[in-house]
């Protein structure tokens, strides 16, 4: 791709697109249009906003490809009705509350400082600080999007036809991954490990899913808590990237010990290709870890495979999880 002045300007001004998108979600604009409010006047009334403000925001969103416009009437672009209308069962707009939160965006204003240091310049270990309130916000905001990924994971693991499972869900957060397995497998029991304040969200998810009788909380840090043993599956979903390889191997040895013979560790991660620049979602996630953690990274499959083998796992397999941009590494004890 050729570097041009428009490309440079669009990159510098990318925060403006984020601001417009988050404003539309905060105003519930996409839902309002889905309800049939398609003029600036109607949208201004529905969203409790100024008509001039709504017109300018909708024109911006149209230029961004999120809306359509015919004359002075606005509509939802293909896909926006599925993911951005709050009435949709696959609504994921809540993710903006986390991804575009001040706590997550502020470190990006100090990328040069993080590059000089080789890790976050946020105090108290960045987002890894104990009981960090950001993770409660993460659990609530990212739950709907994680629920979609959880369904894909349950399908990959053939949960519906599996035998009884004892599952440890490490850094359970919203609880959606363990709950997805328990929904498909009525003989699965879930042990959710996370900070106590975050586990309240996972517990809500389990209760709302009707599997609370097969759900147990294990509060604390994965580095310190005794996992117990006898697990058929251990879920490591978007967790290992917070640590350096040595830290990952400490956790993975504990996971290996907690599994039954033949048990599996299931790692869901941003896994870049060996070139580390593709696919873009995984490749650029390393920067998120640079600015928010002391030593985290997005690891290639070769790096994950090496860590897993060092921890004692006999076989590691990489799986795609389309249409998600995550990949799954299944490691067998």
Determine phi and psi for 261, rounding to 5 degrees. Answer: -55, 130
DSSP lists the bridge partners of residue 169 as 192, 235
Task: Evaluate whether 116 touches 130 at the Cβ level (below 8 Å).
Answer: no
Stretches in the chain below the pLDDT threshold 70: 124-132
DSSP lists the bridge partners of residue 189 as 166
Q: Is the domain defined by 99-332 classed in CATH 3.40.50.150?
A: yes
pLDDT for position 213? 97
- Can you give the residue ranges of every domain in the chain? 5-90, 99-332
Span 5-90: which CATH code?
A: 1.10.10.10
The C-alpha atoms of residue 301 and residue 38 are separated, in whole angstroms, by: 47
Per 3-state DSSP, the chain is made up of helix, strand and coil in percentages (nearest 5) of 50, 15, 30
The C-alpha atoms of residue 57 and residue 51 are separated, in whole angstroms, by: 10
What's the predicted TM-score (pTM) here?
A: 0.91
Summarize pLDDT for 94-114 with one digit per residue, the tens: 999 888 988 889 999 999 999
The C-alpha atoms of residue 238 and residue 271 are separated, in whole angstroms, by: 10
Q: Which residues contact 267 (CB under 8 A, 6 or more apart)?
A: 236, 237, 240, 304, 328, 329, 330, 331
The C-alpha atoms of residue 59 and residue 144 are separated, in whole angstroms, by: 28
pLDDT for position 210? 97
pLDDT for position 136? 83
pLDDT for position 237? 96
């Amino acid at each position: 791709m050729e570097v041009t002045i428009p490309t440079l300007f669009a990159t510098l001004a990318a925060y403006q697109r984020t601001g417009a998108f988050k404003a539309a979600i905060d105003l519930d604009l996409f839902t309002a249009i889905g309800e049939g409010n398609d003029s600036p006047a109607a949208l201004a009334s529905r969203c409790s906003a100024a008509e001039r403000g709504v017109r300018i925001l909708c024109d911006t969103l149209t230029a961004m490809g999120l809306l359509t416009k015919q004359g002075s009437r606005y509509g939802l672009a293909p896909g926006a009705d599925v993911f951005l209308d709050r009435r949709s069962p696959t609504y994921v707009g809540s993710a903006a509350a986390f991804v575009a939160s001040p706590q997550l965006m502020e470190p990006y204003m100090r990328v040069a400082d993080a590059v000089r240091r080789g890790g976050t310049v946020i105090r108290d270990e960045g987002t890894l600080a104990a009981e960090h309130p950001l993770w409660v916000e993460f659990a609530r905001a990212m739950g709907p999007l994680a629920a979609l990924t959880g369904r894909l994971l349950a399908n990959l693991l053939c949960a519906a036809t599996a035998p009884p499972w004892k599952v440890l869900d490490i850094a359970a957060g919203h609880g959606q991954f363990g709950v997805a397995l328990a929904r498909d497998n009525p003989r699965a029991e879930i042990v959710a490990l996370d900070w106590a304040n975050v586990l309240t969200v996972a517990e809500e998810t389990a209760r709302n899913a009707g599997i609370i009788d097969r759900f147990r909380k294990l509060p604390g840090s994965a580095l310190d808590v005794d996992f117990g043993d006898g697990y058929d599956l251990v879920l490591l979903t978007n967790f290992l990237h917070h640590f350096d390889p040595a830290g990952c191997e400490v956790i993975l040895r504990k996971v290996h010990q907690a599994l039954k013979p033949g048990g599996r560790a299931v790692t869901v991660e941003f896994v870049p290709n060996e070139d580390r620049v593709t696919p873009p979602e995984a490749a650029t996630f390393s920067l998120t870890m640079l600015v928010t953690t002391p030593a985290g990274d997005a690891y290639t499959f070769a790096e994950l495979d090496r860590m897993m083998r060092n921890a004692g796992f006999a076989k590691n397999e990489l799986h795609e999880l389309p249409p998600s941009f995550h990949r799954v590494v299944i490691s067998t004890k």
